[in-house]
Amino acid sequence: MLILFGIPITQLLIFGTVIKNEISDVPIAIYDESKDEVTAELINKVRSSGYFILDENLESINSIDQILKKGYIREIIVFENNFAQKLLKEGRANIQLIADASDPNLARLVTTYTTGIINDYVVKMNLNKGMPLQIQSEVRMFFNEEMKSSYQFVPGTMALILMLVSALMTSVSITREKETGTMEILLASPLHPFQIIAGKVFPYLLLSIINAFVIIFIGNLVFRVPIAGSFGLLLLETILFTTMALCLGIFISTVAKNQMVAMFISLIALMLPTIILSGFIFPIENMPKILQVLSYIMPARYFIEIIRSIMLKGIGIQYVWQETAVLGGMTLLLIAVSVKRFKIRLE
């Protein structure tokens, strides 16, 4: 009953709330070269829109690269100097919107909304002052100048495939041994449960690494997703994520009664939450708070962030060490819980 009604209802609720094209509370930074009343009014409008949160007022243009690489700020609004004066004298002034396009969907939304706010201001200004004024916004999509959608999909697909296939392989393999009865023989032998688990994980780890290589190369050569950062780091992070997924598979095998259940959990139960809540297609910043909190337990979320950062932004370990630590922690937790469950089963 729970599955029959629960799953459709939950899915509808999740899909309905996640698939929306509005944004709220997106962190941005502002570099205001002129600091006059007009820029102050515009900044105020942006801040009170509810779409953005002003995180930092920048003092120089040099740090833009660093800031976007950190991954927290999604857009930097740059006002040129003598903004108000230029508007009065020449009838036009320029704004630059620099967006972090490692998540192209979000970048598009963010710049569209910002432009919307600016245009709204222009219209109101023109009505009030009776002069045709223009504020030109130039949009720069950092890390993804050509706004290729493959940049959106390839990192996410990598995460999804590695996660599902790895979890599937180990969970099915172990439950199969339980079904055929060979697991009992192993347990009755002098082998330690840890050795049995390691023996199952290791070959799939090797196979998954080959898989990862292939996916990265296809992404790079066929879909032209760049590898701006260190390939070695990318590979190591992929191995870490794969190990985590394999351990997740082991955990699934301790709760699944047979191969069918293991397959169901690994593929179907994992697939939708991973696609929706990991930031793969729908930006996490868009989601209601509850789902944002839920997305914190999705391992794919961290890995997608890591891949995008390494492949598209070309950053080093210093920017992704937090996500890496989370993945490492998840792996250890899964191992500990699985070994414990293994032992409990023997009681």
Partner 1 sequence: MEKIIEVKNLVKKFDSFTANDNLTFEVKKGEIFGFLGANGAGKTTTIRILCGLSAPTSGDVRVAGYDIYKEQEKVKQNIGYMSQKFSLYEDLTVSENIRFYGGIYGIKGEERKRKETALLKNLEMEHARNKLIGSLPLGWKQKLAFSVALLHDPKIIFLDEPTGGVDPITRRRFWDLIYETAANGTTVFVTTHYMDEAEYCDRISIMDAGKIEALDSPTNLKIQFGVKTINEVFVSIAR
Residues lying near partner 1 in the complex (CB under 8 A) are found at: 180-182, 184-191, 346-347
Least gap, CB of 158 to partner 1 (angstroms): 30
Least gap, CB of 255 to partner 1 (angstroms): 19
Asked whether the beta carbons of 147 and 141 are under 8 A apart, the reply is yes
Q: What is the C-alpha separation between 155 and 173, in angstroms, rounded? A: 27
Give whichever of 16 and 181 is closer to partner 1, judged by the CB atom. Answer: 181
With a CB cutoff of 8 Å and minimum separation 6, the contacts of 261 are 175
- How distant, in Å, are the alpha carbons of 43, 45, 122 from that of 117? 10, 7, 9
Tell me the DSSP string of 286-338.
GS-HHHHHHHTT-HHHHHHHHHHIIIII---HHHHHHHHHHHHHHHHHHHHHH
Tokens 């130039």, residue located: 138
Its sign, for the CA torsion 212, 213, 219, 220, is positive
Give whichever of 12 and 185 is closer to partner 1, judged by the CB atom. Answer: 185
Least gap, CB of 203 to partner 1 (angstroms): 13
Q: Measuring CA to CA, which residue among 199, 196, 213, 207 is closest to residue 168?
A: 207
- Percentage helix, strand, coil for the chain under 3-state DSSP, each rounded to 5: 65, 10, 20
Give whichever of 126 and 180 is closer to partner 1, judged by the CB atom. Answer: 180
Least gap, CB of 338 to partner 1 (angstroms): 18
Give whichever of 50 and 199 is closer to partner 1, judged by the CB atom. Answer: 199
Least gap, CB of 182 to partner 1 (angstroms): 4
Give whichever of 79 and 342 is closer to partner 1, judged by the CB atom. Answer: 342
Give whichever of 106 and 197 is closer to partner 1, judged by the CB atom. Answer: 197
Beta strands 92-100 and 75-79 are antiparallel
Least gap, CB of 21 to partner 1 (angstroms): 50
The number of angstroms, rounded, from the C-alpha of 344 to the middle of its chain's C-alpha atoms is 36
